[in-house]
Amino acid sequence: MAVSKIIELVGNSTVGWEDAARFAVAAAAKSLHGITDVEVTSWTASVRDGDIVEYRAAVKIAFVVD
């Protein structure tokens, strides 16, 4: 039987929301192993002069605890 831990992160991207979520998972994978799931909890963006300039994805990442 495994135990999982969940952490919350925010990924940023100038390309899009999916890219921001992907970046959050990739960054977490650099220091965590055994990532099993990701849940996107919100999508936000920064706007400048009427244009979106940065996309943000707030995510919950689950990983197995050793």
* Of 49, 65, 60, 58, the residue nearest 13 (C-alpha): 58
Q: Which domains does the chain have, with CATH numbers?
A: 3-65 (3.30.1660.10)
**pLDDT 10s digits, 8-17:** 999 999 999 9
Phi then psi for residue 28, to 5 deg, are -65, -40
1: pLDDT strictly greater than 80: no
Quote the CA–CA distance of 20 and 13 in Å, as a whole number.
Answer: 5
pTM over the 0.75 mark = yes
